[in-house]
Chain A
Amino acid sequence: MVFHLFIPIITPLIGAALAVLFNRQRIVARAITLISVLINLGYGLWLMSVAPASGPLVAQASGWLAPFGISLVADGMSALMVMLAALLMLTTILYSFASVDEQREQHFYYPLLLLLLLGVSGAFLTGDLFNLYVWFEVLLVASFGLITLGGSRDQLEGGLKYLVLNLLGSTAFLFGCGLMYGFAGTLNMAHIAERMATLANPGLQTVLAGIFLFAFGSKAAIVPLFFWLPTSYHTPPVAVTAIFSGLMTKVGVYALYRTFGLMFQNELATYGPWLTLLAGLTMVIGVLGAVAQMNVRRILSFHIISQIGYSVMGLGLASAAGLAAGLVFTAHVMIVKMALFFIGGAAEQIYGTGDLKKMGGLARREPLLALFWFLGILSLAGIPPLSGFIGKLILLQVGVSQQAYLITAVAAGTSILTFFSMLKIWNEVFWKKSYDDVNRLPRVSFGLLAPGAALVILSVALGLLAGPLVDYNTIAGQQAFDRNVYITAVCGADGCEAVYRAALK
């Protein structure tokens, strides 16, 4: 029993409350936000150093016996995600200091960010299906606030569509929770996993898996459930778009990994080919959607969808190695995607528009910005020695070793299209001659450049020193795919069913 697992949930909650209280004192509110996120980051790093070696850490809320109460579970995958969420939130907050206007800061911008972190951390740590639903709602309501804060026409239109389609996905999730309770008679994930292995009626299990695939697929923006993403992501301030790109869809990916890796492992044999098909379609349609766009953030938004395809491909390969490869890739893409949003957003802020036709000549004016952008797109496309190369290489290796040649070919081909589409932004924004005099443009401030640059440097470092990352995720993938380890950690060596029976007597 390790009650410190509540730290990453309680810290942002208290931080958000304090930041609301000290809303008028801007410096204090900023300091509180920064400290909360730093605590989460430190705790996440510590968790990553502990979780793979010792096996999953478990805490039972209020000390309830395992299958009855809500369990918090931190295995390698959860620890990695908690750490990444805090790290990305830290860069977002630093970027917000330099870019978000005072109006938004006064209207509870930082508390909303902390509440988003609260929901995300809770979703990564919970071991209870209904509790996962509640965390999804927590992070959704914070994201609704963030995406509509400001109330411009674009934000309201995009926000309405974002909200309705996400509510629909949540309702499907709730629907699945209800059916799952009726089918398995429990909502504790470890207990469900145990009962799934013994309960007859495999047809119903397949249906349940399909419902959860729909619910989490719509959160993760896989084809054909991605339409809420490109219509809304370019409307809020850059910092908000960036943190959404880093966290929102990835929570969906995490939930898919968790449900299919743990509860529906038997169904992966059925769903594996369909998942890889969806993954391939997501990659291709996402990147082709990006090719048609002429706005920096809309191009990047479509690329989020395309990259989600790779993460889903890791799941579709239906093995511990596949999950591990998917995790490496997801970690890489969370970092690099946010870096690109920060740098593209900085360019957007300089020109006052994200329209490619109205931009140009930035490479001469801001060589540092251009350098980091170029490194970022090389990493996203997967050029060695950057982290994207490692992520894609491992994924393709697993694909080849499991004879999934078609999806492997599609994944490799999509990389070229990704690079092509990213080069379009490079050419239009940085390389081509500007029609206006670039010397009259405002200079990029250090605060706008630093967060993106730091993330790009991290991507380079992860590419050069890929060993620890890959080793870590190999263990994390095995843990996520091994039901017995999870069940033993949550309910003890005899399993949840034994505890359940004993408690009823």
Chain B
Amino acid sequence: MIILLAIAIGSLFAGATYLMLRRSVVKLILGLILLSHGVNLLIFTMGDGVRRGASPLVDAAGQPPPGSADPLVQALILTAIVISFGFTAFVMALAYRSNQAVGSDDLDDLSTTDRL
């Protein structure tokens, strides 16, 4: 399972990097979305009970109940998903407005603020 997840995370990061290095604004945003998914999956693998020992839910004997997962990573991912969802909505609206203002999807055309 860990191997599969590791491959999935690696692919998401690779795809995100590739997309973010393209010149199109839309692909840049898609890259950001993929990147946040990759990080969410990575956090997910961090709570598997193998890496860090017991989950904080324990029975009377101090042992985690069998088959229990670490709830904290899921809470972290949920928070991260909500935040990245909000930012994605914002960046899409912003990209739409800047596309209206500039009339181009090419990042090389977004350079008026860099000129001397």
Chain A contact residues, CB within 8 Å of chain B: 68, 130, 134, 137, 141, 144, 148, 151-154, 156-161, 163-164, 167-168, 171, 174-175, 177-179, 181-185, 187, 231-232, 234-235, 292-294, 504-505
Contacts and interface: CB of A to CB of B under 8 A. Distances in A.
A134 B101 contact: no
Contact of B95 (A160, A167, A168): A160
Contacts of A156: 94, 97-98, 101-102
Contacts of A294: 116
A175 B113 CA distance: 31
Contact of B113 (A134, A182, A235): A235
Nearest to A232: B113
Q: Chain B interface mostly helix, strand, loop or mixed?
A: helix
A171 B46 CA distance: 16
Nearest to B53: A185
Contact of B58 (A181, A235, A504): A504
Nearest to B61: A505
6 contacts: A164-B91, A178-B39, A181-B76, A182-B52, A185-B52, A294-B116
B62 A157 contact: no
Contact of B94 (A68, A159, A179): A159
B98 A157 contact: yes
B22 to A, nearest CB: 13
A276 B46 CA distance: 33
Contact of A68 (B45, B47, B52, B56): B56
Contact of A158 (B56, B83, B113): B113
Given A154-B112, A164-B91, A504 B101 contact: no
A171 B73 CA distance: 16
B98 to A, nearest CB: 4
B110 interface: yes
A164 B62 contact: no
A392 to B, nearest CB: 29
B32 A157 contact: no
B27 to A, nearest CB: 12
Contacts of A187: 72
Contacts of B58: 504
B24 to A, nearest CB: 13
B9 to A, nearest CB: 10
Contacts of A178: 39, 42-43, 46, 73, 76
Which 6 interchain pairs have the tightest Cβ spacing?
A182-B46, A178-B43, A185-B52, A156-B98, A153-B101, A158-B113
A15 B104 CA distance: 40
Interface of B: 20, 25, 28, 32, 35-36, 39, 42-43, 45-47, 51-54, 56, 58, 62, 72-73, 76, 79-80, 83, 86-87, 90-91, 94-95, 97-98, 101-102, 110-114, 116
B1 to A, nearest CB: 15
Contacts of B46: 178-179, 181-182
Contacts of B111: 157
A161 B110 contact: yes
B85 to A, nearest CB: 12
B81 to A, nearest CB: 11
Contact of A171 (B35, B54, B113): B35
Most buried by A among B39, B86, B97: B39
Nearest to B109: A157
Contact of B32 (A152, A159, A167): A167
A182 B45 CA distance: 8
Contacts of B62: 504-505
Most buried by B among A130, A148, A151, A156: A156
Contacts of B110: 157, 160-161
A292 B56 CA distance: 56
Contacts of A154: 112-113
Nearest to A130: B76
B113 A181 contact: no
A152 B97 CA distance: 10
B114 to A, nearest CB: 5
A181 B72 contact: yes
Contacts of A292: 116
B102 A153 contact: yes
Most buried by B among A134, A153, A183: A153
Given A177-B43, A177-B76, A163 B112 contact: no
Nearest to A500: B56
Contacts of A505: 62
